[in-house]
Amino acid sequence: MAPTLRAQVAPSRATTPATARLPAPTKMMAPPPAPARRSPTSPASRPSVAASAATPWNPMPPAGTVLASAYGSVPPAEPSGRRAGEEGHEGMRGHDHTHAARAAHLFLCLCVLTDARLLPLFYVYAGVILHPTSLPGPPGMGDIGVATVTPFLDWCAGAGIAAWQVLPLVPPETAHWSPYSGEDALCGWPSLLSLRDLAADGLLSLGAVEGAEAGWAAGGGGGGGARVDHAGVVAHRAPLLAAAADALLSRPPSDPLRSALDAWTRAHAWVADSALFHCLASEEAGCVGRAWWDWPPHLRDREPGALAAAAQGHARLAARFTALQFLFDRQWGAVQGAAKARGVQIIGDMPIYVGGHSADVWAHRGLFALDPATGAPSSVSGVPPDAFSETGQLWGSPLYDWPSHDAEGFAWWARRVGRAGELYDVTRIDHFRGLAGYWAVDAGAATAMGGAWVAGPGATFFDGLERAFRAAGAPVPALIAEDLGVITPDVASLRTASARAPGMAVLQFAWGGPRDGSNPHLPHNHEGRQVVYTGTHDNETSAGWVARGGAGPAEVEWMRTYWGLPAPRRRLLGLLPASKRADPLLSDPAGAFVRAAWGSVAATAVAPMQDFLRAGNEARMNTPGTAGGGNWGWRMGGGGGAWAELAGTAAELRALAAATGRLVPEQEAWVGDRGRA
């Protein structure tokens, strides 16, 4: 039985819609594959870079300082009236800005010479959120195999989609299968491996794979493809994955694939701790089914002799674990290559916190807020009462001991961010505001109401990353800041001045509050260096949000007013045909949201796959604040023929990308799965 840990089974997290405008950022993420013709720095649509560059940095107190006196129970919103960073934007609107735009363009060109993360300021493109588990094809769950991913990437290229955003690829916790409460922040989930690709490598018999799939389906396994069957997939694929790993390990050192495994293991020294933790949690008496802080003291406290004995006793399982991690990287590397060939960059997602019962915490106790005697969390993560919960959200992950991270030069974080750079072109940091100030809750608390705001590391964090990567001769990987929620000036300055990362806007959050145009999620408030979403994996689908009534009558009316859409016409004496009575908003809310996002001035526009499918809330990926209930289980239907059935949708999206300047040159000549023209 899996350990019952708050860090693993806590309800899904959510972020409160922002209520304060952010200062315009000055730098952005690494480039997509090729430039589009429309520049995010065009004078008619972008705030002044010179003005945003002059935004002062708001100094923070040392990490760990309680901020209740400054923040109150919740961080203060910007005062009404003029919003942060608005002066430069209004100046651009109210005056002849040609010279200002040219000066900004020159400034950016000069900065590009010293910081590659500025390059995408010259690119505009579109993206999709779709986790590999939701891909159609294999029984029970999608995988990262060639036969599963390539048709999807072909569809993206044909649809003018140049970015694919995935959820964390880590092994999820096994109570509710949330990838945001993973058991290891550096590892990939072996159950995502393609069994057929392993057979192509000679590590499995294709007949054995097909036979196992047929037998599983005959026994009712796989759930008919409508939903992800996490537990069933793990049980079905585990024996075959073990056999593939053993086949690889049995090869001589001179074998090319075995030699590649040995080289990968030497280059990823962290895998030793991950493998041993997995072995102890899976096989060791006194450890199975328990949180690591409840393990026997000699293993809990990592006594050298005990670790050496355990490593020897579990050598076979540890080697198998390592081989599967290598094979995961190998298959994911093929995915990366296929995406690059089609002009698609991959955006990953990094939760700011890691699971308590994880190799990350067990192997690095000094870097977390833990009980010094037992290692159990002493303070845990969450957020105060907000729009999603009257008692706040208690996430339960252990908090960081930031002074200890500073003392080691943020080496642990540099390794984590560097690993993300191996897997993704760009990485989104979830709950970015926690780096400026975070909500700390006593580990024994039943709710998050009694927590307090505590200062995070602030600029010190990014200074440390810069030094670590500079010492390694590498740039800091490109980042996106998930800056949703009530964003205070210190958070905004941290994003623009230190992280040099774009923030986010979510169209579903645009319609609340007063109708004075001040909501930062409204399209006219978007910024060039920003990522706009119709919704995220935590939102209802656009169609579901409107149909269910999540968008109330006042919000629907505000949308009509804002977009200039006519109200539905009532039938009079049966004379008005149905075609004339159609409501242009309620009949296709997903289409309206996608068109608004693609038409935004934001450099990157992204929608969940569900919005392209115009799916209702039956396709929702996650409902924040809940545990279970089908979270993380949505999957596309249609099997292997799903993408051919969506050819019309691809054509529609491609035309929209072309009309809004989001069609990147590498995809201009794409002619579907036949290759390039």
> Which residue in 641, 517, 656 sits closest to 600, CA to CA?
656
% of the chain surpassing 90 pLDDT: 66
CB 382 within 8 A of CB 441: yes
Is residue 572 predicted with pLDDT exceeding 70?
Answer: no
* Per-residue pLDDT at 669: 73
pLDDT 10s digits, 370-424: 999 999 999 999 999 876 678 888 999 999 999 999 999 999 999 999 999 999 9
> Which residue in 362, 485, 401, 384 sits closest to 441, CA to CA?
384
pLDDT 10s digits, 480-507: 999 998 789 999 999 999 999 999 999 9
At 549, the pLDDT band (50, 70, 90 cuts) reads confident
The structure tokens listed for 406 are: 């500073």
Mean pLDDT within 635-643: 87
DSSP run (H or E) holding 163: strand 163-165
pTM: 0.84
Helical pair 459-471 and 411-423, crossing angle rounded to 10 deg = 70
Question: Hey, which residues are catalytic here?
Answer: 430, 482, 538
The type of residue at 654 is R
Which string of DSSP letters, residue by residue, matches 318-349?
A: HHHHHHHHHHHHHHHHHHHHHHHHTT-EEEEE
Query: Strands, DSSP E only, in 389-495?
Result: 393-398, 426-430, 437-442, 452-455, 478-481
CB 148 within 8 A of CB 194: yes
* Per-residue pLDDT at 77: 37
pLDDT 10s digits, 145-171: 999 999 999 999 999 999 999 999 999
Whole-number Cα distances in Å, 132 to 143, 325, 355, 378, 645: 6, 17, 21, 35, 19
Is residue 70 predicted with pLDDT exceeding 80?
Answer: no
The structure tokens listed for 633 are: 């289980």
pLDDT 10s digits, 315-344: 999 999 999 999 999 999 999 999 999 999
pLDDT averaged over every residue in the chain: 83
Is residue 254 predicted with pLDDT exceeding 80?
Answer: yes
Per-residue 3-state assignment (H helix, E strand, C coil) for 181-242 = CCCCCCCCCHHHCCHHHHHHCCCCCHHHHHHHHHHHHHCCCCHHHCECCHHHHHHHHHHHHH
Q: Any idea which of 90-99, 233-242, 258-267, 453-462 has the lowest mean pLDDT? A: 90-99
* Per-residue pLDDT at 671: 58
Is residue 119 predicted with pLDDT exceeding 60?
Answer: no
Which of 91-105, 223-237, 477-491 tops mean pLDDT? Answer: 477-491
CB 147 within 8 A of CB 56: no
- The domain ranges of the chain are 6-569+585-674
At 655, the pLDDT band (50, 70, 90 cuts) reads very high
The type of residue at 310 is A
Look at the domain 6-569+585-674 and name its fold: TIM Barrel (3.20.20)
